[in-house]
Amino acid sequence: MTALLEIVGARKAFGGVRAVDDCSLTVEEGSITALIGPNGSGKTTLFNLITGYLKADGGEFRFRGRDVTGSDPGRLYRQGLTRTFQQARVFPHMTVTENLVVAGGYSWRDLLVPRVLGRDRSRADVLLEEFRMTHVAELPASELSYGQRKLLEFAAVLMSEPRLVLLDEPTAGVNPVMIDTMERHIRERHAAGVTFLVVEHDMQFVMRLCDPVVVLDNGKEIFSGPPSEVQQNPLVLDAYLGT
């Protein structure tokens, strides 16, 4: 197995809060790795460090064997590392198609300047078809349901043909039918060679989809292993039950 993403000794503090505390983690190429842990255990902060949205206080980050410590989100995006957000981020006043087109043509930072390019239009059309969103293609994203917005955000990260996708709670606030749809799209992309790191509180979703499961507590990895072992692990039980 090849490590696609390697994190060694990552640290990030907010004042006195050590959100990520000497955390090391490897994501193998071709895996759907889950990142779970109680609220406030540092999952989103770790995502922000990996994707360059926050600068780490320390630690090394390697992606595809290269040192990417300190890289900005746009650069990582161009190298094939992209993510979704815990609260879905789409451009509300742009149409669904425009959201996809800008995602394909520009880095995340450049997305603040909405411009529509013709060349990405056909790829957007293919994704809309795949995500069964053709009927809402010309609607402003603000008119989508929350679940549809999450799907749109997922479709948007696929515009860049990424190698590694980080999903922050893809099913939170999403209805059961949409959760199945989300799962199907993850599986399809995984079968096509995309690696995933998924933060998720829905344990059934994690258990059927992910392997391995990594557990964070107080900013540190306390367990990494197959889903069949995670629920019996005493450290994990302690972290969740607070005993």
Ligand X SMILES: Nc1ncnc2c1ncn2[C@@H]1O[C@H](COP(=O)(O)OP(=O)(O)OP(=O)(O)O)[C@@H](O)[C@H]1O
Number of residues that bind ligand X (CB under 6 A): 12
Cα dihedral: 17, 24, 183, 108 (round 10): 70
Cβ 99 vs Cβ 152: under 8 Å: yes
Among 31, 41, 44, 97, binds Mg ion (CB under 5 A): 44
> Which of residues 20 and 76 has its CB atom nearest to ligand X in the complex?
20
Buried b (16+ CB within 10 A) or exposed e, 79-108: bbbbbbbeebebbeebbbbbbbbbbbbbbb
Q: How far is the CB of 191 from ligand X (least distance, A)?
A: 28
Q: Which stretch binds ligand X (CB under 6 A): 11-19, 67-75, 141-149, 176-184?
A: 11-19
Q: Provide the 10 A C-beta neighbour count for residue 178.
A: 18
Q: Which stretch binds ligand X (CB under 6 A): 39-47, 63-71, 87-95, 120-128?
A: 39-47
Among 17, 126, 235, 237, binds ligand X (CB under 6 A): 17
The CA-based diameter of the chain, rounded to the nearest angstrom, is 57
Q: How far is the CB of 43 from Mg ion (least distance, A)?
A: 5
Distance CA 222, CA 242 (A): 14
Q: How far is the CB of 42 from ligand X (least distance, A)?
A: 4
Cβ 49 vs Cβ 72: under 8 Å: no
**Does 55 participate in binding ligand X (rule CB under 6 A)?**
no
**Positions that interact with Mg ion (CB under 5 A):** 43-44, 86
**Positions that interact with ligand X (CB under 6 A):** 14, 17, 19, 37, 39-45, 86
